A = this chain, B = another copy of it.
Amino acid sequence: MPSKQIYLGVIGVGGVGTAFLQQLSKLPNPPSLVLLARSSQTLLAPAPAYSPAIPAGVDWQTASATPSLTKSGALSPSEIVSYLSSAPGGRSVLVDNTSDPALASAYPQFLKAGISVVTPNKKGFSSDLSLWKDIFASAASGDALVYHESTVGAGLPVISTLRDLVATGDQVTRIEGVFSGTLSFLFNTFAPVSASSGTAAAKWSDVVSQAKDLGYTEPDPRDDLNGMDVARKLTILARIAGLQVQSPESFPIESLIPAELASLPGTAAGIQEFMTRLPEFDGQMAALKEQAEKAGKVVRYVGSIDVAKNEVKVGLQQFDKDSAIAGLKGSDNIISFYTQRYGGNPLIVQGAGAGGEVTAMGVLADLNKVLERL
């Protein structure tokens, strides 16, 4: 297809954003990067020519030291829309590498203006159903595209696979899986399939502490243990499968935060107290593990969607030791799609579902698809 001039605006230069810029610079024909923003600063290719562009493959420091660029503070979504849609003779794409709910709620503005959106930011797709509907209606009216593969399972082919199943008329009956790398690691370590007898069983609080030290949890581990991240991913998949999920709070979520510790503040001192008091609850978690053991099973933290019953839930479940979910390794995700065409054995996608490089890869693969279609 003949290639048009494509202008790219990228917001966010954290782990994913930095990996994305590196990967982007290695494309054979990268689009012209004309806007790069972090929380309080914005770099722009100077109007009206939108040239020279932001140099490819450089980090934020180097980019912000480039004299040819226009610098400003944080721009509002309207200002970014205005800048991108005024670029001469081409199409624009916004890549949102933040997890900012405010930016996500502005996607409809971008899309109505014909600016396509590519993002790993879950907020736009897992908040109120009205925003979801507004995003896709705006894309249609603005003749723009929305791709968000990395909102579930990072670079794993989850969203694209589900969309293909639905678009070709398969009936998705059930979706089930481990959707959090953190919770995968916690349970694979706490309740491994092949616990060698004689080895001291790991205490739940020790496993959480270990995961925190390895950087596998959020700074406040309760942001993983509350199940909200999993609930947001389930919300997205359920909506693609056709369910009208009002919000990630509209279905049961089993929190792994002991009720007694839920109200501790999110300050450093609060987190410290949470970690100090967590061992008080090791007995409860050990009991859950033993109960599963007695049934010859292991306990895992999963999300599931029953399409026919219109039921979404997130929480602990027991699994046979020879099941794919029980056998998961490290911090891998696994997602099983049960459909009419696939019958008894699901279509399964498995692998790392978090991390800067694989998340950025999902964003870049999406961007490639947008570039092919524009």
Contact with B along A336-372 (1 / 0, CB 8 A): 0000011111111111100101100100110010001
State whether B329 touches A345 (Cβ < 8 A): yes
State whether B352 touches A347 (Cβ < 8 A): yes
Of B1, B143, B350, B364, the contact of A373 (CB 8 Å cutoff): B1
The verdict on A324 contacting B327 (CB below 8 Å), with A347-B352, A349-B157, A361-B170 known, is yes
Complex interface: chain B residues within 8 A of A67 (CB): none
Q: How many residues of A contact B (CB 8 A)?
A: 46
Complex interface: chain B residues within 8 A of A345 (CB): 329-330, 332, 351-352
With an 8 A cutoff between CB atoms, is A156 at the interface? yes
Contact with B along A161-184 (1 / 0, CB 8 A): 100110111100000000000000
C-alpha gap A168/B164 in the complex (Å): 21
With an 8 A cutoff between CB atoms, is A26 at the interface? yes
State whether A342 touches B351 (Cβ < 8 A): yes
Q: List 19 A-B contacts (CB under 8 A).
A: A23-B168, A26-B169, A155-B347, A157-B161, A157-B349, A164-B361, A167-B365, A170-B361, A194-B322, A322-B327, A324-B324, A324-B350, A330-B345, A341-B358, A342-B358, A346-B351, A348-B348, A348-B350, A349-B349
